[in-house]
């Protein structure tokens, strides 16, 4: 099965993308959790340094820029080692979280040489 790293969406469910979903254009990053994905594109700016985000400003020890890539490193307040699939019943057993959210083959090279215990 081919997996995409990221793509630009202009629509959803065969309709134009509505404003509440980031219209007119939204970057979709399926291998990152929703809190790490952008919601709407306002402008594009290239920088030489890592930008601060709302999440890592609010709680830098909890939401690093590369957050949730390494389930072996526990979040400061909860474990990332097990997950329940979105849409599953609360009674559905959790499954083991995969490294890089299951996209290791596609994205592991992006993290080559990084300390994934620090930049989890």
Is-cis flag, bond preceding 24, omega within 30? yes
Q: Looking at the predicted structure, is the pLDDT value of residue 49 above 60?
A: yes
Supply the pLDDT for residue 106: 82
Residue ranges of domains in the chain: 1-41, 51-120
Contact 55, 35 (CB under 8 A): yes
pLDDT at 71 over 90: no
Question: Ranked by mean pLDDT, which of 7-11, 40-44, 69-73 comes out on top?
Answer: 7-11
Chain position carrying tokens 């400003």:
57
Q: What is the DSSP letter of 48?
A: S
| 83-119 confidence digits (pLDDT tens) | 888 788 999 999 998 888 788 888 888 888 888 877 6
Per-residue pLDDT band for 3 (boundaries 50, 70, 90) equals very low
Contacts of 90 (CB under 8 A, 6+ apart): 84
3-state secondary structure of 29: coil
């Amino acid at each position: 099965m081919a997996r995409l790293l990221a793509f630009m969406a202009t629509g959803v469910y065969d309709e134009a993308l509505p404003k509440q979903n980031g219209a007119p254009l939204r970057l979709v990053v399926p291998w990152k959790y929703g809190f790490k994905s952008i919601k709407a594109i306002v402008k594009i700016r290239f920088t030489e340094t890592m930008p601060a985000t709302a999440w890592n400003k609010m709680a830098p020890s909890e939401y690093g820029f590369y957050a949730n890539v390494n389930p072996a490193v526990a979040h400061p307040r909860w474990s990332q080692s097990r997950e329940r699939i979105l849409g599953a019943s609360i009674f559905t057993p959790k499954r083991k979280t995969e490294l890089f959210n299951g996209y290791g083959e596609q994205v592991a090279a992006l993290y080559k040489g990084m300390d994934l215990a620090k930049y989890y």
